[in-house]
Amino acid sequence: MTMSKQSDDLTQPLEAGRTFFNTGMTILSGVFTLLGLIPLFLVLFYVLSQGFSSLNADIFTQLPAPSGTLGGGFGNAIQGTMIMVAIAASISVPIGVLTAIFLSEYSRDSGFVQYVRFGVNVLAGVPSIVIGVFAYGVVVTTSGGFSAYAGGFALAILMLPIIIRTTEEALKLIPWELRLGSFALGADRFNTIARVILPAALPGIITGIMLAVSRAAGETAPLIFTALFSQYWLEGLNKPTASLAVLIFNYATTPYADLQHKAWGASLMLLILVLIISIVARIVFRRRS
Amino acid sequence: MSSTTTTSNAYQVRNMNFFYGTRQALDGINIDIPAQSVTAIIGPSGCGKSTFLKSLNRIAEAETKVRIDGQISLFGQNIYDPKVNLTQLRRRVGMVFQRPNPFPMSIYDNVAYGPRVFGTKGNLDALVESSLTKAAIWNEVKDKLRTSAQGLSGGQQQRLCIARSLAVNPDVLLMDEPCSALDPIATLRIEELIENLRTQLTIIIVTHNMQQAGRVSQNTLFFNTDESRIGQLVESGLTKEIFFSPKDKRTEDYITGRFG
C-alpha cells in the first residue's frame, strides 16, 4: 500500500474500504453481543411466563401433595435449599476468604502459593457430580445416611474455589500503597488486613460469595448423592433434605402437567431466592462501608 | 520511654550498602542526620535517594527482598538489630509517600488509625483535632470529619496523611517526594507545614525539585550513581553551601541543571 494519496485536507474521509470494514466490524460485534444476550433473556422470559402462574401462598406453606393428587406446594424444598446453602456458606466462606488472604497478603510469590493456586484452579474445574460422589463417600457412607450436613458439605466444596479466586482478585485490586501506608504507621500485618485491606475489598469479596451462593443454590448433582430428597419438612440436619434443585429435576421429568408446572414455579423461586440474597447482601454491606 | 536523647543526630549511618536481591542500589553511605531540622535528599532519578529513605524506617523490606549491610542508628539505637520491633520503629519514624494514600475510611478514622492500632481506646477527638491542626488542615475538614477521606483534593489528602503520621507522635518524619503529585498552591502549603513542624521533629525529604530543597531544608544530601549504576552519597552539608559553593563537580553540574 502506498501513501501517495495522503493530502493535507483535514476533511478528507477515510478510504471506502476502511470505512466499510470499520462499520462492518462494529455492526458484527453488536449483533454477536445481542446473540449472547438472547439466551439470558429467553431463560428469564420462559421461567417467568411459565412459573409465575404457579406461584401462590401454598407453595411456601404446603408440602408436596401425595402422588396422584393435585395442589400442595414445596415449602420444604425452599427451606432445605436455604439451610443447605447456609451450611455450605458457613464452611466455605471462612476457609475461602482466609485462604485468599494467605495467597494474596502473606506469601504472594512463594512456590507453595503457586501449588495452592493451581490446586484451587483444578478444584474449580472438577465436575459437580464428582464432588457429589466424593461427598457421598466421605460424609454419607461414614455418617450413616443422607443428610443436610452432607448436602451442605458438597455445596461447600463447590463454592470454595469460586470464593478463593474472587476474594484473591478483590484483595489484589487494593493498591499496594495502602498497605505501605499502614505499615509505615507501625501497624502489623494483622491490623493492616483487618482494618484497611478487608474493608476496602469487602464489596468485591461479597460479590464473589454471592456468585458462589447462586451457583450452589442451583446445583442438583451433588445433592442427589448427599441430601437426596424428602417429602416432609426438615426433621433434623442429619435427615434426608428436600431442595429446589432436586425437586425441579424430579418434577420436570414426570409426565404430569401439574408437577411440570410446579417445576417451573420452583425454577422461578430459585431465581428469586438468589436475587433476594444478592440484593440484601449488597444493601447490608454498602451501608456498613 | 524518653524519645529526646541528648544526641543531636537523629540518624547515624555507617558504611551502609543496600541490595535489592543481588543488585546493589547503594554503596558505602556514611552520614549523620541532625535532629529537629529538615534534611533534603536530592539527586537524579535512579540514584537511590528513595531507597535510602526507605531504609530509614525499614519499609523497603515490606516491598521486596532486600539486604542491608552496615549500620543505621536512630538516636543511638541500631535499627537493624534483629531484636528491633518494626512496629515500634515505624511508630517513631513516620512516612509520607509520593502519592497521597489515605485509607478508604473517614477523615477521622484515618487520623485515629495509628493510635487505635497501638491500642488507644476511648475518645480520640482531642488527638484527632490536634493532629489535624498540626498538619494545617483542621479548618478545612472540621465540619466533615465523618466523610470519606477520598473526597478530599490531592493536597488535602497529602496533609491528611501527614496528620495521620503525626497522630502517633513520631520523632522523625520521612517524606518521599510529597509534592510531586500536587499543584503549586498545594505544594506551598505543604512547604509551610514542613517549616512549622521543623521545631517539633526531624524531617527528611526526598525531592526532585531543587527550589523546594532550597526553600525548606537546612541540610542537603546529594546522591548520584557511579559508572556501574550504583547509588552513592556524593556530597552533604548545609543547604546553602551545597547550593552556592558545592565542592564536588557533579553536585555543581546537577544544581545548575547540566544533568539529571
Question: Residue A46 and residue A41: Cα distance in Å, rounded?
Answer: 8
Which one of A106, A185, A188, A193 makes the best mutation probe of the B interface by having the most chain B beta carbons within 10 Å?
A185
Q: What is the pLDDT of residue A56?
A: 84
Grid coordinates belonging to B206 = 526526598
Q: Is residue B21 part of a domain?
A: yes
Q: Which of A7-11, A46-50, B3-7, B256-260 has the lowest mean pLDDT?
A: B3-7
Q: What is the pLDDT of residue A155?
A: 97
Q: What is the pLDDT of residue B228?
A: 87
Q: What is the pLDDT of residue B187?
A: 93
Contacts of A188 in chain B (CB under 8 A): 87, 117
Q: Which of A238, A185, A150 is nearest to B89 (CA)?
A: A185
Are A19 and A114 in a shared domain?
no
Are A40 and A162 in a shared domain?
no
Decide if B231 contacts B27 (C-beta within 8 A): yes
Q: Is residue A1 part of a domain?
A: no
Decide if A170 contacts A210 (C-beta within 8 A): no
Q: What is the pLDDT of residue B83?
A: 94
| pLDDT confidence bin for A55, thresholds 50/70/90 | confident
What distance in Å separates residue A102's CA from the closest CA in chain B?
16
Q: Is residue A10 part of a domain?
A: no
Instruction: Pick left, alpha or beta for residue A192 (phi over 0 → left; psi -120 to 50 → alpha; otherwise beta).
Output: alpha
CB contact under 8 A, A184 and B91: no
Contacts of B87 in chain A (CB under 8 A): 186-188
Q: Is residue B122 part of a domain?
A: yes
Decide if B207 contacts B42 (C-beta within 8 A): yes
Residue B50 belongs to what domain range?
A: 9-255
* Arithmetic mean of pLDDT over chain B: 92
Question: Residue A157 and residue A72: Cα distance in Å, rounded?
Answer: 33
Grid coordinates belonging to B191 = 512547604
What distance in Å separates residue A206's CA from the closest CA in chain B?
17
- Tell me if chain A has a CB within 8 Å of the CB of B99: yes
How many domains does the structure of chain A reveal? 2
Are A106 and A228 in a shared domain?
yes
| pLDDT confidence bin for A221, thresholds 50/70/90 | very high
- Inter-chain contacts counted by CB atoms under 8 A, chains A and B: 72
What distance in Å separates residue B58's CA from the closest CA in chain A?
9
Q: What is the pLDDT of residue B2?
A: 39
Residue B145 maps to which CATH number?
3.40.50.300
pLDDT at B116 over 80: yes
Q: What is the pLDDT of residue A110?
A: 77
Are A101 and A216 in a shared domain?
yes
How many domains does the structure of chain B reveal? 1
What Rg do the C-alpha atoms of chain B give, in angstroms?
18
Are A93 and A174 in a shared domain?
yes
Q: What is the pLDDT of residue A11?
A: 84
pLDDT at B42 over 60: yes
Are A278 and A223 in a shared domain?
yes
pLDDT tens per residue, range B81-99: 999 999 999 999 999 999 9
Q: What is the pLDDT of residue A3?
A: 55
Q: What is the pLDDT of residue A274?
A: 87
pLDDT at B19 over 70: yes
Which one of B54, B66, B90 makes the best mutation probe of the A interface by having the most chain A beta carbons within 10 Å?
B90
pLDDT at B3 over 60: no
Picking from A176, A187, A200, the nearest residue to B117 by CB comes out as A187
- Tell me if chain A has a CB within 8 Å of the CB of B65: no
Q: Tell me how many degrees the CA angle B150-B154-B160 measures, rounded to the nearest 5.
A: 70
**pTM of the predicted model over 0.90:** no
Question: Residue A238 and residue A84: Cα distance in Å, rounded?
Answer: 11
Q: Which of A231, A211, A250, A227 is nearest to A83 (CA)?
A: A227
Residue A251 maps to which CATH number?
1.10.3720.10
Q: How far, in Å, are A41, A56, A57 from residue A49 at the CA level?
A: 12, 14, 18
Are A48 and A61 in a shared domain?
no
Among the candidates A26, A53, A80, a domain finishes at A53
Q: Is residue A4 part of a domain?
A: no
More confident site: A277 or A190: A190
Phi, psi of B13 (to 5 degrees): -110, 125
Q: Which residue of A has its CA nearest to B89?
A: A186
Mean pLDDT computed over B49-69: 93
Q: Which of A26-30, A115-119, A254-258, B24-28 has the lowest mean pLDDT?
A: A254-258
Q: Is residue B2 part of a domain?
A: no
Decide if A182 contacts B113 (C-beta within 8 A): yes
Question: Residue A173 and residue A204: Cα distance in Å, rounded?
Answer: 9
ipTM: 0.90
Q: Is residue B1 part of a domain?
A: no
Beta pairing, strands B9-20 & B23-34: antiparallel
Phi, psi of B169 (to 5 degrees): 55, 60
Q: Is residue B4 part of a domain?
A: no
Decide if B11 contacts B59 (C-beta within 8 A): no
Residue A49 belongs to what domain range?
A: 15-53
Q: Is residue B18 part of a domain?
A: yes
Are A62 and A39 in a shared domain?
no
Q: What is the pLDDT of residue B4?
A: 43
What distance in Å separates residue A17's CA from the closest CA in chain B?
45
What distance in Å separates residue A283's CA from the closest CA in chain B?
18
Are A45 and A85 in a shared domain?
no
pLDDT at B164 over 90: yes
Are A151 and A174 in a shared domain?
yes
Which one of B103, B105, B174 makes the best mutation probe of the A interface by having the most chain A beta carbons within 10 Å?
B103
Instruction: Pick left, alpha or beta for residue A186 (phi over 0 → left; psi -120 to 50 → alpha; otherwise beta).
Output: left
Q: Which of A113, A175, A83 is nearest to B150 (CA)?
A: A175
Longest dimension (CA), chain B: 57
Q: What percent of chain A has pLDDT over 70?
A: 96
In terms of average pLDDT, the best of A7-11, A15-19, A24-28, A225-229 is: A24-28
Q: Is residue B133 part of a domain?
A: yes
Q: Which residue of A has its CA nearest to B60?
A: A180
pLDDT at A1 over 60: no
Are A262 and A145 in a shared domain?
yes
Picking from B57, B103, B116, the nearest residue to A181 by CB comes out as B103
Mean pLDDT computed over A270-282: 86
pLDDT tens per residue, range A79-115: 999 999 999 999 999 999 999 999 999 876 778 898 9
Q: Which of B209, B257, B229, B189 is nearest to B25 (CA)?
A: B229
| pLDDT confidence bin for A5, thresholds 50/70/90 | low
Decide if B57 contacts B97 (C-beta within 8 A): no
